[in-house]
Structure 1
Amino acid sequence: MPRLAAPLTESQIRALEPRATRYSVADGNGLVIEVMTTGTKVWRFRYSLNGKRQPLATIGDYRMISLRVARAKAQKYAEMVAQGISPVATARRDRGAEVKADVLREAAELYMATEMAGKSDEYRRTTRRALHKDVLPAIGGMAIKAVTAQDVVDICERIKSRGSPKMALHTRNVIKRLYEYLIARQLAASNPAEVVPARSIATFDSRTRVLSGDEMGEMLYSIEASSIRRPLKLALHLLVLTMVRKSDLVESTWGEFDLDNALWRISAARLKKDADQLVHLPQQAVTMLRELHRTRASRTFVFPSVRGNDQPIAKSTLNQAVKALGLQVEHFVLHDFRRTASAHLREITEHAERDKTSAQSRQNASRDEPANDAAARRRIAQRWADFVEAQLDAARKRAGGAA
């Protein structure tokens, strides 16, 4: 029986460096990975037959065979050995089949099994959907190195012809990330998607970009399901609910909030304006702020820097968090939340009541606003929060149905 070994991980395998002489590291069940002096890594199967140790059976190049696939092959060979059958001939035939791993379809499967393993469920779902719906049907049978920029453009144009420019750009980005992975694994020499400008596929005027309800829900669900720090998740959600500027939120202090009365007063001095800005907080925002207050790491700032220097997080932190998620919503900036809220609120308030108070006028409320105006603004804030919550709930259900 092969000796027991601690199972390897993909990250451990990637970290294996060449030495002056080649060496092997065991994964278990007879599976080992041999690291050559050139840095090439090859899967082998170690076994004994009729009581005698046999030469290693070669499974194949690590660049083309994932850990999961190598383990499956080792298990198959171990079962053959248990029956007294040498796996060498079978392994040789399998290696012949592995030559096909240089086609994009096989490479995409390797990408999903390794690089995507640690990503969120939603990120894996949207990536797999783009690959299987548009990329692989078009170029999946092509050799990795044969795919050109024109192939990428053709895929994107077909998607755009369906009236989905954002999906076209998302698909281009999926191909770009796939090839970045293949280049790192030495399976590709260049990236055909990198030379296709994003703006040649879809361009959005930064002054008119408005997220649809579905886009808003998908974005919030992706944030919710991600691995970013909880305070950053809440910050992004609060940015949607309160409709304030990013800097107003990230630099906020606990002294500005009256959570018992669901009010947030941003001082005129901080805003560099003539009057304070009064923000009426919906129930959902109050709940999030109470959670942040219970777990606060600073007596002053709502979103303190992790450096512990009693400063707020950098203004770029939320942008970086969103960018790291690789969200499907393309050509989006955080300021679009305010524009989106204003657009949807107009429709919501028109359906709900004759009060035409807009999101912007709510933000410009003064210290002495009339009581009836305050009540109207509270109603609008809560209607907006309920609308946002409905979009998030719908996205959760879609994700659950797709799982």
Structure 2
Amino acid sequence: MPKAAIPLNDKRIKALKPKAKRYLIADGGGLVLEVMTSGSMVWRYRYSLNRKQQPLVTIGDYPAVSLQDARIRARRYAEIVAGGVSPIADAKKDRGASKTLDSVRAFADFWYESEIATKSLSYRTVTRRALDKDIYPAIGNKALSEVNAGDVLAICDKVKGRGASQMALFTRNVVKRMYEYAISRQAATINPGQQLVARYIATPQSRTRVLSPDEVGTVLRAVYTSNMSRAYKLALHLLVVTMVRKSELIESEWSEFDLDEGVWRIPAERMKKDREHWVFLSAQAVSMLRELRTLSHSPRFVFPMRRGHEDRPIAKSTLNQAVRAMDSDVQHFVIHDFRRTASTHLHEMGQSSDAIEKALAHSIKGIKGVYNRAEYADERRKIMHLWADFVDAQIAEGKKVVIGKFRSAA
């Protein structure tokens, strides 16, 4: 028989502390309190329909929604569920019932609670930042109907003026999605974000970005001091030191690794060139993978989805969102720049160009391009260890820690 939940009280709630991962505390009757890594707390309602567990229903933030009010709503939702109906519609109505939703700020807060609060931490963080830093100061007090495309363009131009064109595009998308929701609820009739063409905000540019040694250290220090999950921190560090493509890492399976040998064998079907690729792992990479093994709840994937019952890897956009959400002084870089950065600095160190190209799984023209998957093994092991040590040194330069210990400090 399942253990009955101990009812919560305000004293016990206020004593709850954030952890590395968000967690749930049950009050009973389906009511649970989710404690976020940031320390904020959200009431949720947990229920089943037709003997199947359903996604959690958001009731509202604590203490804005009191314990007593949350219990009242949970009991009402239980009655709805007993009739074979999902309480989601009622919950959304409850969250907006006491609000006047005619201003941008009021409606955007309602939209955030209704649609964004259950998204990933990184997506919530970057969305909240766009609202608080740029959207609300410019148009927060305006009526939804008064905002036009020129207002949104002015916001985007201001963000671009800080040298953050991709964040400008993301900010436009926040406005666009919020207005899509407003139109669906008949709170607006025109979408000013939709009227702005994306390519006029952030035009595609050729990728030639190489991070300087100082920037490598700055980025990884920002990663480790951010609020993203430990697994994502290690994933980004691994992308730097293994020199693999993002998809190759996030779709990796435990069966591909021999950590005792220090070799990662990526099967041909997951490689861009449809040819099996061996990654020779540095001691740092092996250490991170061993830690990830203790964190992973999947017997198959190194980076499994954190929600749902399906055993599949995280989405391709997850790490991009995590990077966008963190605070960093380094501008104009994307995750793929890590590979170009490694190649550039290793060449500057005088390492074998062929070995570097093979480590990157690049093709080499001519007779030298015909090779077996383990060719240049000794040189590739050498440069992978050299590169990982170089990266550790950049992290330590600004952190004043013993090289190699930073990964376990955050």
Q: TM-score, with normalisation over the residues of structure 2?
A: 0.54
Q: Which residue of 1 aligns with 2:136?
A: 136
In structure 1, what residue type is equivalent to 2:242? T
Q: Which residue of 2 aligns with 1:362?
A: 359
Q: Which residue of 1 aligns with 2:171?
A: 171
Q: Which residue of 2 aligns with 1:149?
A: 149
How far apart, in 2, do the equivalents of 1:273 and 1:142 lie?
Answer: 53
- Paired residue secondary structure (2:390): helix
In structure 2, what residue type is equivalent to 1:355? Q
- Paired residue secondary structure (2:279): strand
Q: Which residue of 1 aligns with 2:383?
A: 376
Residue 196 (1) aligns with residue 196 (2): yes
Counterpart contact for 2:228–2:322, Cα < 8 Å: no
Q: Which residue of 1 aligns with 2:283?
A: 283
Does the C-alpha gap of structure 1 residues 322 and 114 become closer, same or farther in structure 2, counting only changes over 3 Å? Answer: same
How far apart, in 2, do the equivalents of 1:255 and 1:193 lie?
Answer: 46
- Paired residue secondary structure (2:98): coil
How far apart, in 2, do the equivalents of 1:129 and 1:196 lie?
Answer: 21
How far apart, in 2, do the equivalents of 1:141 and 1:272 lie?
Answer: 49
Q: How do 1:165-314 and structure 2 match up within 5 A? A: 165-183=165-183, 185-205=185-205, 207-208=207-208, 213=215, 217=220, 225=228, 238-246=238-246, 248-249=248-249, 252=252, 254=254, 256-266=256-266, 277-293=277-293, 313=312
Q: Structure 1: which 5+ runs fail to align?
A: 1-5, 17-25, 35-39, 42-59, 67-97, 330-334, 394-403
Counterpart contact for 1:250–1:303, Cα < 8 Å: yes
| Residues 135-168 of structure 1: CA deviation (Å, up to 9, x unaligned) | 2232223211221222212221233234331231
Q: By how many angstroms is 1:198 displaced?
A: 1.8
Counterpart contact for 1:297–1:304, Cα < 8 Å: yes
Q: By how many angstroms is 1:203 displaced?
A: 1.9
Q: Structure 2: which 5+ runs fail to align?
A: 1-28, 33-41, 46-56, 60-67, 77-88, 327-332, 362-371, 401-410
Does the C-alpha gap of structure 1 residues 221 and 130 become closer, same or farther in structure 2, counting only changes over 3 Å? Answer: farther
| Residues 24-64 of structure 1: CA deviation (Å, up to 9, x unaligned) | xx9389999x9xxxxx98xxxxxxxxxxxxxxxxxx99636
In structure 2, what residue type is equivalent to 1:341? F
Percent of aligned pairs sharing the same letter: 36
Choose which of 61, 69, 72 in structure 2 pairs with 1:27.
69
In structure 1, what residue type is equivalent to 2:335? F
- Paired residue secondary structure (1:344): helix
Residue 65 (1) aligns with residue 98 (2): yes
Does the C-alpha gap of structure 1 residues 27 and 302 become closer, same or farther in structure 2, counting only changes over 3 Å? Answer: closer
- Size of the alignment, in residue pairs? 314
Does the C-alpha gap of structure 1 residues 313 and 263 become closer, same or farther in structure 2, counting only changes over 3 Å? Answer: same
Does the C-alpha gap of structure 1 residues 148 and 367 become closer, same or farther in structure 2, counting only changes over 3 Å? Answer: same
Q: By how many angstroms is 1:104 displaced?
A: 1.7
Comparing 158-167 and 260-269, the one that deviates more? 260-269
How far apart, in 2, do the equivalents of 1:269 and 1:109 lie?
Answer: 44
| Residues 192-239 of structure 1: CA deviation (Å, up to 9, x unaligned) | 21232222200233654668948955995699625xxx8787656544
How far apart, in 2, do the equivalents of 1:15 and 1:113 lie?
Answer: 8
| Structure having the higher Rg | 1
How far apart, in 2, do the equivalents of 1:125 and 1:252 lie?
Answer: 27
Does the C-alpha gap of structure 1 residues 170 and 359 become closer, same or farther in structure 2, counting only changes over 3 Å? Answer: farther
- Paired residue secondary structure (1:337): coil
Q: How do 1:90-101 and structure 2 match up within 5 A? A: 101=101
Q: Which residue of 2 aligns with 1:161?
A: 161
Counterpart contact for 2:263–2:280, Cα < 8 Å: yes
- Paired residue secondary structure (2:69): strand
More helix by share: 1
| Residues 323-343 of structure 1: CA deviation (Å, up to 9, x unaligned) | 7879459xxxxx9634x1233
How far apart, in 2, do the equivalents of 1:107 and 1:270 lie?
Answer: 44
Q: Which residue of 1 aligns with 2:9?
A: none
- Paired residue secondary structure (2:195): coil
How far apart, in 1, do the equivalents of 2:120 and 2:270 lie?
Answer: 37
| Residues 233-253 of structure 1: CA deviation (Å, up to 9, x unaligned) | 765654444222455446655
Comparing 154-163 and 201-210, the one that deviates more? 201-210
How far apart, in 2, do the equivalents of 1:385 and 1:345 lie?
Answer: 13
In structure 1, what residue type is equivalent to 2:376? E
Q: Which residue of 2 aligns with 1:345?
A: 342
How far apart, in 2, do the equivalents of 1:31 and 1:266 lie?
Answer: 50
Q: TM-score, with normalisation over the residues of structure 1?
A: 0.55
Does the C-alpha gap of structure 1 residues 202 and 210 become closer, same or farther in structure 2, counting only changes over 3 Å? Answer: farther
Counterpart contact for 1:278–1:363, Cα < 8 Å: no
Comparing 103-112 and 294-303, the one that deviates more? 294-303
Does the C-alpha gap of structure 1 residues 190 and 233 become closer, same or farther in structure 2, counting only changes over 3 Å? Answer: farther
Does the C-alpha gap of structure 1 residues 31 and 239 become closer, same or farther in structure 2, counting only changes over 3 Å? Answer: closer
